[in-house]
Structure 1
Amino acid sequence: MTNDELKQMVLDHMELGLLENIIDMFRADTTLFPLITDMLQDERLRVRLGATALVEELQATHPALLAEQIPALGELLKFQNPTVRGDAAYVLGLLKNDKAIPYLEAASEDENASVREVVLEAISEIRGQ
């Protein structure tokens, strides 16, 4: 199976609601963690929501591996679609890692009011406010 086929399979399984299976896959194969950014960019709402739930679940057991995704998640704060920017900010807040602060601060003046709100909430979450 190619990387593109694997990515498509994981995203399609997420759309089908197979979150528990995907959590198990990520725990068994930590090279899958970069797919989180792909999930957050997907046009399907269920895939994006699943990505958030996946991060919430993995944060308890794999915070260091999730922290490695901060630069890629930070890049999503520049994405054209404001939904993707907001989702990325929310996920960065879930990570509660100071390394996300510079990315979030850079996005704090986003043109979209909803994104700005999520960014500020994420910063507060990380700083424990």
Structure 2
Amino acid sequence: MTKISDDEMKKTIADFIEMGHVENIVAMFKQDASYYRYTGDLLADERFMVRMGVVLLFEELVVERPEDIAQAIPFLVPLLAEETPLYVLGEVLTVLGIIGNTEAKEYLRRYIDSPDPQLSEIARYYVLCERWD
């Protein structure tokens, strides 16, 4: 059996998400939690549909596998750097908000007073959201 590289797997996941097959990716993440390591790269994808699909993926996973989703945090943190485009940063904050644990909220708190009103709004919404605590 041929082993698929990480780059090939990330491309496959992104392509499936773009085609609207998020349910297939949910099943993959449920079966193998090591796929959380791709979260940051998927959110950095230039395709809007891929980034939006990752948000949908996490909305499903928070219901079906809430105990697993925090595994994505270490792969999201590098995207909180200043050079990250704002549109990607907004998606990262949204996924951190969906994760919603104490660690994720600590990262979100850093953006409450962001000069960018959209980032500030996302951070405020999820920090004040009590549905996960």
TM over 0.5: yes
Interval of TM-score (by shorter of Structure 1 and Structure 2):
0.7 to 0.9
Equivalent position of 1:71 in the other structure: 74
Q: Which amino acid aligns with 1:49?
A: M
The Cα shift of 1:21 comes to 1.2
> Mind listing any 5+ residue stretches in structure 2 that lack a counterpart?
none
Equivalent position of 1:47 in the other structure: 50
After superposition, the C-alpha distances for 1:91-122 in whole angstroms (9 at most, x for unaligned) are 11112211112211222232321111111111
Equivalent position of 2:9 in the other structure: 6
1:19 equivalent among 12, 22, 41: 22
Aligned-residue sequence identity (percent) comes to 33
Q: Which moved more, 1:45-54 or 1:73-82?
A: 73-82
RMSD value, Cα: 1.8
- Is it true that 1:96 corresponds to 2:100 in the alignment? yes
In the alignment of these two chains, the number of paired residues is: 128
- Deviating beyond 3 angstroms after TM superposition, the runs of 4 or more aligned structure 1 residues are none
User: Measured at CA, do residues 127 and 29 of structure 1 come closer, stay the same or move farther in structure 2, by a change above 3 Å?
Assistant: closer
Equivalent position of 1:112 in the other structure: 116
Equivalent position of 2:38 in the other structure: 35
TM-score between the two structures when normalised by the length of structure 2: 0.85
- How far apart, in 2, do the equivalents of 1:125 and 1:34 lie? 26
